Amino acid sequence: MTAERAKVSSARDTTTMTVGDFLLRRIREAGVGHAFGVPGDFNLEFLQQMEDSGTLDWIGTCNELNASYAADGYARLNGMAALVVTQAVGALSAINGVAGSYSEHVPVICVCGSIPLRSIERGLSMHHTMADGTWDRFLTAYAQVTAAAVRLTPDNAATEIDRLIRTAWHDKLPVYMELPSDIAYLEIEVPADPLVLAEPRSDPERVRSCADAIADRLSKAKSPAVLVDLDAARYGAAGEVMGLAEKMQLPVAVVATAKGVIDETFPHYIGIYAGAASQPHVRKSIEGSDCLLSINYRPIDLDSGSFTASLPASTICARGHSVDVGEDNFQAVTLREVLRSVTETVPQVTNRATRHFAPTAPTGNGADGSAKLTQAAYWQAIQGYIRSGDVLIAEDGTSYAAFGLQLPPKCSFVSQVIWGSIGYTVGSLLGTLTAAPDRRHLLFVGDGSFQLTAQELSTILRHDHKPVIFLINNGGYTVERGYLGKNSRFNDIADWSYADLPKVFKRNTTARSFVVKTVADLEKALSAPNDSLIFIESEMDPFDAPVPVMLGGNTGADLDYGPRGPQHRGNMQLRPPS
Ligand SMILES: Cc1ncc(C[n+]2csc(CCOP(=O)(O)OP(=O)(O)O)c2C)c(N)n1
Ligand SMILES: [Mg+2]
């Protein structure tokens, strides 16, 4: 270290704080106002610090899995979230949700109150361990599903807490800290300055060269286009994408993982790209582009039309902090700076024949009110219900039809396309409600998915949230019937009285519950005021599913089970009528 740098670092103001209070302070400074989780003896001392200091509002959940989903939903709207669990038993319940946050690029700070350092140093076996003298198993497990995992000590806490929070912010990925229960109240020297989470500045030459290279290609192209994946949302670059598209009149498509990231009423928005499963004009604009700019496209089986997606070889790939243009790779650049710089550089285009393709919203021919409710009539009615500013949360299953809804401006759309852990949306709804309590939140969920995480409805009621919950009761796992087991018992589930659950989970609830069997029943439910939680249980036929959901299952089975799989036996799959 040079003498000058040494002087700077020694001049940095420090102060004394306990490890726990410093961690809470840093989480708050990262813009997080709430923590989700379940208490346990190894984290109670930290929760006491939370309660005494009032730094974060504690949202206790029924289990840690639901807390991990809630933290994920909160972070998607808020930018970052906090999850607090206890040693091993809590941490392993939450690990599915944290892994989902990794796969979907969601920054969640997971704090695990862990066995005291004393027990490690003195070799004392504790509860919630294997009682075999090993201490690192769960830290190692979390290292597989986070960008960084560490056991805090009084020596490393001041630097590691900052390093991990910065990593979560920078990489848009979860991090994991074990907080041994005997160090939260120990005083350490910590920086006095607040944590500032600012994007690193791009290298000026690199960002200039990168923007010039992109602008040059876009300007010379005959059919340039943009394909947006979820990092555009995570890195807050949707506005920049639209700014560029507006200036150059570029058609913009999104991947399903990024539905709602681009305002669907934006004149240059053309729809969802999914390879052969796209609408023809979307496929043509993307695959036929002679200069496609992709925002970190990460295709998987489910959003690429079973890998029929094929981007032009010349595609430019822009990520959060690097860009590929042809043979060149640009480092030390940030997505937003690159996009802004490209927009400044390119000429204004006024003569490109762009056509706004509104997504084809569900339509029908005004079904007879007394008719039994069908999926087609259901989604058509919901299309008429959604309004500007809504937060929509769509679960796996036939509720995936929500991807076909045409969103009004300022809506947010939350789903877990890549990780796809059913039950996610119920926990996630608690998180989105906590992050944005003044918006209207609509949950679309199936009976099977709901059964995994239903208890969290109690936490939603406990905090007087007022979402609208659309539950499809079709007696089981209809989406799975499209893969295999159209009539098999393993796709059936217990017949709950779903609409009664608000009463069970909150005495004297004012929630409005509806059991809907016909179109007229649904219309009545949809006219209820949003002054309380609305729970709409809609009964539908187990074999009624939107065609894309059935087809997805049919082709998915061929990928999953291969040519000798059981899907080829007669009547094993729910299929669209031929
Ligand atoms: C944690 C987890 N377990 C199992 C699955 C497999 N799975 C995917 S969808 C689904 C059925 C969903 O059923 P439901 O929510 O009732 O939807 P619908 O009947 O409307 O299709 C199952 C079991 C999964 N994705 N995640
Ligand atoms: Mg179902």
Residue 93 three-state SS: helix
Report the Cα–Cα distance between both ends of the chain, in Å, rounded.
Answer: 74
Our answer to whether residue 474 is catalytic in this structure is: yes
pLDDT for 309 beyond 90: yes
Cα separation of 543 and 188, whole Å? 62
List the structure tokens of 64.
């840690």
Residues 6+ apart with CB under 8 A from 181: 41, 42, 43, 44, 45, 46, 113, 114, 115, 116
Instruction: Kindly give the distance from the C-alpha atom of residue 450 to the centroid of ligand 2, in angstroms, as a whole number.
Output: 9
pLDDT for 1 beyond 50: no
Residue tagged active-site, from 52, 57, 127, 464: 127
Please report which confidence band the pLDDT of residue 361 belongs to, taking 50, 70 and 90 as the band edges: low
344's torsion region: left (phi>0), alpha (psi -120 to 50) or beta?
alpha
Residues 191, 12 contacting (CB under 8 angstroms): yes
Q: Which residues face 323 on adjacent strands?
A: 318, 330
pLDDT for 10 beyond 70: no
Question: What pLDDT digit, counting tens, does each position of 182-229 carry?
Answer: 999 999 999 999 999 998 899 999 999 999 999 999 999 999 999 999
Backbone angles phi, psi at 14, to 5 degrees: -125, 165
Question: Using a 6 Å CB cutoff, which residues line ligand 1?
Answer: 395-399, 420-422, 446-449, 472, 474, 477-480
Residue 69 three-state SS: helix
Cα separation of 164 and 142, whole Å? 13
Residues 280, 357 contacting (CB under 8 angstroms): no
Using CA atoms, how far residue 319 sits from 9, 146, 147, 171, 329, in Å, is 33, 19, 17, 11, 11
Spatial CA neighbour of 31 closest among 196, 199, 237, 233: 196
Which ligand is closest in space to the CA of residue 481?
1
Share of the chain above pLDDT 90, in %: 94
Which ligand is closest in space to the CA of residue 96?
1
Question: What pLDDT digit, counting tens, does each position of 225-258 carry?
Answer: 999 999 999 999 999 999 999 999 999 999 999 9
Cα separation of 344 and 269, whole Å? 21
421 Cα nearest atom in ligand 1: 26
Question: What pLDDT digit, counting tens, does each position of 262-287 carry?
Answer: 999 999 999 999 999 999 999 999 99
Our answer to whether residue 395 is catalytic in this structure is: no
Q: What is the mean pLDDT of the chain?
A: 95
Ligand 1, pocket-test mutation among 68, 398, 445, 477, most atoms within 8 A of CB: 477
In a 10 Å sphere around its CB, with 0-12 CB exposed, 13-18 middle and 19+ buried, how is residue 353 labelled?
A: exposed
Our answer to whether residue 41 is catalytic in this structure is: yes
Our answer to whether residue 351 is catalytic in this structure is: no
pLDDT of residue 360: 65
Residue tagged active-site, from 171, 447, 539, 544: 447
Torsion of CA 346, 347, 351, 356, to 10 degrees: 40
Q: Can you give 30-60 as a three-state secondary structure string?
A: CCCCEEEECCCCCCHHHHHHHHHHCCCEEEE
Instruction: Kindly give the distance from the C-alpha atom of residue 383 to the centroid of ligand 2, in angstroms, as a whole number.
Output: 20
Cα separation of 515 and 521, whole Å? 8
420 Cα nearest atom in ligand 1: 25
Residues 6+ apart with CB under 8 A from 101: 68, 71, 72, 75, 107, 108, 173, 174
Residues 467, 107 contacting (CB under 8 angstroms): no
Which residue stretches of 79-229 are H helix? Answer: 89-103, 117-121, 137-143, 157-171, 204-220
pLDDT of residue 352: 86
pLDDT of residue 105: 98
Please report which confidence band the pLDDT of residue 301 belongs to, taking 50, 70 and 90 as the band edges: very high
Look up the pTM and report it.
Answer: 0.96
| Mean pLDDT on 526-546 | 98
Our answer to whether residue 64 is catalytic in this structure is: yes
Which ligand is closest in space to the CA of residue 398?
1
Instruction: Kindly give the distance from the C-alpha atom of residue 395 to the centroid of ligand 1, in angstroms, as a whole number.
Output: 9
Residue 538 three-state SS: strand
- In the block, residue with structure tokens 């500045």: 201
Instruction: Kindly give the distance from the C-alpha atom of residue 577 to the centroid of ligand 2, in angstroms, as a whole number.
Output: 20
| Mean pLDDT on 333-337 | 97
Residue tagged active-site, from 21, 34, 40, 128: 128
List the structure tokens of 3.
């003498």
Please report which confidence band the pLDDT of residue 559 belongs to, taking 50, 70 and 90 as the band edges: very high
Instruction: Kindly give the distance from the C-alpha atom of residue 445 to the centroid of ligand 1, in angstroms, as a whole number.
Output: 10
**DSSP letter assigned to residue 411:** -
- In the block, residue with structure tokens 């994007």: 199
Residue tagged active-site, from 420, 523, 554, 558: 420
Please report which confidence band the pLDDT of residue 426 belongs to, taking 50, 70 and 90 as the band edges: very high
Our answer to whether residue 465 is catalytic in this structure is: no
Backbone angles phi, psi at 149, to 5 degrees: -140, 135
Residue 478 three-state SS: helix
Degrees (nearest 5) of the Cα angle 531, 534, 539? 160
List the structure tokens of 571.
């009547």
Cα separation of 572 and 566, whole Å? 8
- In the block, residue with structure tokens 């848009």: 172
Instruction: Kindly give the distance from the C-alpha atom of residue 104 to the centroid of ligand 2, in angstroms, as a whole number.
Output: 24
Cα separation of 219 and 338, whole Å? 16
Handedness of CA 396, 413, 551, 102 (dihedral sign): negative
Cα separation of 428 and 165, whole Å? 21
Please report which confidence band the pLDDT of residue 327 belongs to, taking 50, 70 and 90 as the band edges: very high
pLDDT of residue 356: 62
Our answer to whether residue 420 is catalytic in this structure is: yes
Which ligand is closest in space to the CA of residue 450?
1
Share of the chain above pLDDT 70, in %: 96
| Mean pLDDT on 512-526 | 98
Q: Can you give 281-333 as a three-state secondary structure string?
A: HHHHHHHCCCEEEEECCCCCHHHCCCCCCCCCCCCEEECCCCEEECCEEECCC
Using CA atoms, how far residue 92 sits from 39, 137, 138, 304, 320, in Å, is 14, 11, 8, 31, 30
CB atoms within 10 A of CB 347: 10
